[in-house]
Amino acid sequence: MNYKGIILPHVFYADFVIEDQIILEIKSVKNIADEHIAQTINYLKVSGKKLGLLVNFGELRLNYKRLVY
């Protein structure tokens, strides 16, 4: 991982990367929490991707957030 020009030994694992452009994070929780949004935004920052989708299958209806960084 490159952070401000420094190579860090940390690795992130997005659930899916689509067409090398979109981070897709899948959850199955009662509600999407701020922590889930922050996690997806962090993945966007470190990957250099512009679009993230946070999809939750744990609610009665499909819930998703479209995040642009």
* Residue 2 belongs to some domain of the structure: no
Per-residue model confidence (pLDDT) at position 3: 67
The size of the chain, in residues, is 69
* Rounded Cα gap, residues 20 and 14, in angstroms: 12
Q: Which tens digits make up the pLDDT trace of 8-21?
A: 777 778 899 999 99
* Residue 32 belongs to some domain of the structure: yes
Q: Mean pLDDT over residues 43-64, rounded? A: 93
* Residue 46 belongs to some domain of the structure: yes
* Residue 5 belongs to some domain of the structure: no
* Residue 19 belongs to some domain of the structure: yes
Per-residue confidence at 1, pLDDT binned at 50, 70, 90? low
Sequence-separated (6 or more) residues with CB below 8 Å from residue 67: 37, 40, 41, 44, 51, 52, 53, 54
* Residue 6 belongs to some domain of the structure: no
* Residue 40 belongs to some domain of the structure: yes
Q: Mean pLDDT over residues 24-52, rounded? A: 94
* Residue 47 belongs to some domain of the structure: yes
Which range of residues forms the domain containing residue 23? Answer: 12-68
Mean residue pLDDT of the chain comes to 90
Per-residue confidence at 53, pLDDT binned at 50, 70, 90? very high
- Give how many domains the chain has, as a whole number: 1
